[in-house]
Structure 1
Amino acid sequence: MPAQYGRTALVTGANTGIGFETALVLAQRGATVVLAGRSPDRLAGAVARIRAAVPDAELHSQHLDLASLDSVRRAAEQLRSDFARIDLLVNNAGGIRPRYEVTEDGFEATLATNHLGPYALTGLLLDRMLGVPGSRIVTVSSIGHRRGRMNFDDLHATRGYRFQHAYFQSKLANLMFGYELHRRLDAAGAETVSVAAHPGNARTEFGRDMHPLVRIAMLPQLRAVTWWLMQDPHRGALASLRAATDPGVRGGEYYGPPGRAQFTGHPERVDSSPLSHDVEQQRRLWSESERLTGVAYPIGEPVARPA
């Protein structure tokens, strides 16, 4: 992993698990790291743990609740005030709600946290990245995206909620967003690239709000797998770190553990589901995200090329 001195990195969901490990390694390699999360106390604890391991680290914390557009806008305003440039944005934060919840904005909470919040945050910060050579946006998805379907007729599950379906849909949305963002950045000739990653089957606090029996049976990736088919958070973070820092990474790529199940192992370029590459659904999701959040990106839609 190249040295990261002189780079500013924003990592969401950085107070625990994969986000924390991502922030820690970036700090070890010399980056200025902004840890973003919902809990000020947990953020302070994460900053203290990194500083104990990297005494000279340049660290900042930012309160951010991705389920609230108001919080996203306030966080983006503060970040824009604090930093003239952002080299790296790792959209890592995610979650799952065991029961149906609607946010203050009227969104189903899992979709809001995992997709609409990151979409809005990225758009509000993008102009701080566009002119920065080597800048990257990393969107963290999941192997669960393969079971996802975009229910555009009922994105917010008003006609029946199943937590696993909501989660799978949101993780598919992550990839569709990342790929569509890549197309738009590429068409605009931007310095910034969009890359996706997934951690495999990692032992983290993900799903901590679920019933204990559900966690045992289905989490962290909503599959009934044995303990030895999981990896620790540090190894789970390697896919995000490679996507963020490997000089050979190109926009529109997807990194995660290799193998048929993609549960464990050192990250490689991997394939995502055919549905995640459906350009029409990507465009439809983008339009819906823009309409719902009110956030328009400072780059336009690519012009269709002649057949």
Structure 2
Amino acid sequence: MTGWTADQIPDQHGRTAVVTGANSGLGLVTATELARRGARVVLAVRDTAAGAEAARRIGGAVEVRELDLADLASVRSFAARLTADRPVIDLLVNNAGVVLLGPRRTSADGFELHLGTNMLGHFALTGMLLGALATAPAPRVVSLSSITHRNAHLDFDDLMYERSYRAASAYGRSKLATTVFGVELDRRLRAAGSPVVSTLAHPGLTRTNLTPRAWEHRRRTGRLIARLGLLVTQPVERGTLPQLRAATEPGLRGGEFFGPAGPGETRGRVTGARFGREAADPAVGRRLWTAAEELTGVRYL
């Protein structure tokens, strides 16, 4: 199988990268490859013990900082401390995410947990780091989408899924919101003349630890699904390539979207990915942005 590989990542010496959820899965591989190319990488993780073990495995100029995207107070604390220490940030990879297939749960701020973690936490984080990003010579933000976003719908009358909760649909909605955010961020950065570039990626169907965690409430079922998943998913090293390309390929324009080229964009070499109709709708982007500002209290651009 040919195509773009991690060996094509250009030299990253002198650059500071922040990767959320960097202690496992896609985030761990992303952080590892960036550090291998010389970047100073901040592992933004909820579990600092797991982050420390990841940093030990990665080696290089890596530091661990606590960040809980499901708690806006944690996001504010992380951003304030990071920018005080590192006023210039070159790359933000909004990688972290949750998949929970049990009953409805909420974040520390009362948000439905998928939306609160996967999108609203990253919306707030990006806004708080935007000033540090804008001072870098070639700054970039990467938002992690999913193929599930194409079948999702944003119900602005019930964003938090309080009426009739379905976990799989809530996850898809959170990934649609993340995708809309990445596209709308690009529109606003361009309009403002900002040097920051917003790109997006999705991993197709990739073997990570999210599926076992999603089925923690029914472990036997989770183990069976994980075994069946071996037949249709790709290794995490390959699933990470779209976001690595979105993060590092020189000369990308804002709004570019990468994913696997195989059937249904589930696996295969990296190529340009397809947005769902709602994800690319400017009216949806404006409406979600307004809602996110009101919910998080973070306003930028």
Per the TM superposition, whether the score is higher than 0.5 is yes
The one-letter amino acid of 1:87's match is D
Q: What's the counterpart of residue 150 of structure 2?
A: 146
Q: What's the counterpart of residue 71 of structure 2?
A: 68
Alignment check: 8 A CA contact 1:255 1:267 kept: yes
SS of residue paired to 2:130: helix
Q: What's the counterpart of residue 79 of structure 1?
A: 82
In the alignment, the residues of structure 2 paired with residue 77 and residue 202 of structure 1 have an alpha-carbon distance, to the nearest angstrom, of 33
**Matching residue within 200, 204, 220 for 2:204:** 200
In the alignment, the residues of structure 1 paired with residue 182 and residue 116 of structure 2 have an alpha-carbon distance, to the nearest angstrom, of 16
The change in CA–CA distance for 1:7 and 1:126 in structure 2 (over 3 A counts) is same
In the alignment, the residues of structure 2 paired with residue 145 and residue 173 of structure 1 have an alpha-carbon distance, to the nearest angstrom, of 8
In structure 1, the gaps of 5 or more residues are: 52-56, 300-307
Alignment check: 8 A CA contact 2:262 2:269 kept: no
- Residue 214 of structure 1: how far off its partner (Å): 5.1
Higher helix share: 2
User: Are 1:212 and 2:214 an aligned pair?
Assistant: no
User: Are 1:284 and 2:287 an aligned pair?
Assistant: yes
SS of residue paired to 2:81: helix
User: Are 1:2 and 2:10 an aligned pair?
Assistant: yes
In the alignment, the residues of structure 2 paired with residue 145 and residue 225 of structure 1 have an alpha-carbon distance, to the nearest angstrom, of 23
User: Are 1:59 and 2:99 an aligned pair?
Assistant: no
Which string of whole-angstrom CA distances, capped at 9 and with x for unpartnered residues, describes residues 250-275 of structure 1?
A: 11010010134111112111111111
Q: How does 1:85-234 map to 2 (within 5 A)?
A: 85-97=88-100, 98-207=102-211, 208-210=213-215, 211-212=218-219, 215=222, 227-234=230-237
SS of residue paired to 1:23: helix
Alignment check: 8 A CA contact 2:107 2:117 kept: no
Q: What's the counterpart of residue 236 of structure 1?
A: 239
The change in CA–CA distance for 1:293 and 1:245 in structure 2 (over 3 A counts) is same
- Residue 23 of structure 1: how far off its partner (Å): 0.1
In the alignment, the residues of structure 2 paired with residue 116 and residue 275 of structure 1 have an alpha-carbon distance, to the nearest angstrom, of 18
In the alignment, the residues of structure 2 paired with residue 248 and residue 218 of structure 1 have an alpha-carbon distance, to the nearest angstrom, of 40
Q: CA RMSD in A?
A: 1.5
Which string of whole-angstrom CA distances, capped at 9 and with x for unpartnered residues, describes residues 23-65 of structure 1?
A: 00000000000001110110011001111xxxxx111111011
The change in CA–CA distance for 1:16 and 1:141 in structure 2 (over 3 A counts) is same
In the alignment, the residues of structure 2 paired with residue 280 and residue 216 of structure 1 have an alpha-carbon distance, to the nearest angstrom, of 41
Alignment check: 8 A CA contact 2:149 2:173 kept: yes
In the alignment, the residues of structure 1 paired with residue 45 and residue 245 of structure 2 have an alpha-carbon distance, to the nearest angstrom, of 22
SS of residue paired to 1:152: coil
- Residue 163 of structure 1: how far off its partner (Å): 0.5
Number of residue pairs the alignment of both structures matches: 289
In the alignment, the residues of structure 2 paired with residue 154 and residue 179 of structure 1 have an alpha-carbon distance, to the nearest angstrom, of 22
- Residue 3 of structure 1: how far off its partner (Å): 0.6
Moved more, 257-266 or 21-30: 257-266
In the alignment, the residues of structure 2 paired with residue 5 and residue 180 of structure 1 have an alpha-carbon distance, to the nearest angstrom, of 30
**Matching residue within 12, 19, 22 for 2:27:** 19
Moved more, 7-16 or 184-193: 184-193
In the alignment, the residues of structure 2 paired with residue 164 and residue 194 of structure 1 have an alpha-carbon distance, to the nearest angstrom, of 27
Q: Matched residues, percent identical?
A: 46
In the alignment, the residues of structure 2 paired with residue 259 and residue 43 of structure 1 have an alpha-carbon distance, to the nearest angstrom, of 33
In the alignment, the residues of structure 1 paired with residue 32 and residue 269 of structure 2 have an alpha-carbon distance, to the nearest angstrom, of 18
The one-letter amino acid of 1:250's match is R
- Residue 241 of structure 1: how far off its partner (Å): 0.5
- Residue 13 of structure 1: how far off its partner (Å): 0.3
In the alignment, the residues of structure 2 paired with residue 87 and residue 15 of structure 1 have an alpha-carbon distance, to the nearest angstrom, of 20
Alignment check: 8 A CA contact 1:133 1:192 kept: no
SS of residue paired to 1:288: helix
**Matching residue within 23, 30, 40 for 2:48:** 40
Alignment check: 8 A CA contact 1:4 1:29 kept: yes
In structure 2, the gaps of 5 or more residues are: 1-8
In the alignment, the residues of structure 1 paired with residue 52 and residue 20 of structure 2 have an alpha-carbon distance, to the nearest angstrom, of 14
Alignment check: 8 A CA contact 2:89 2:135 kept: no
- TM-score, scaled to structure 2: 0.92
In the alignment, the residues of structure 2 paired with residue 278 and residue 285 of structure 1 have an alpha-carbon distance, to the nearest angstrom, of 11
In the alignment, the residues of structure 1 paired with residue 230 and residue 214 of structure 2 have an alpha-carbon distance, to the nearest angstrom, of 20
- TM-score, scaled to structure 1: 0.91
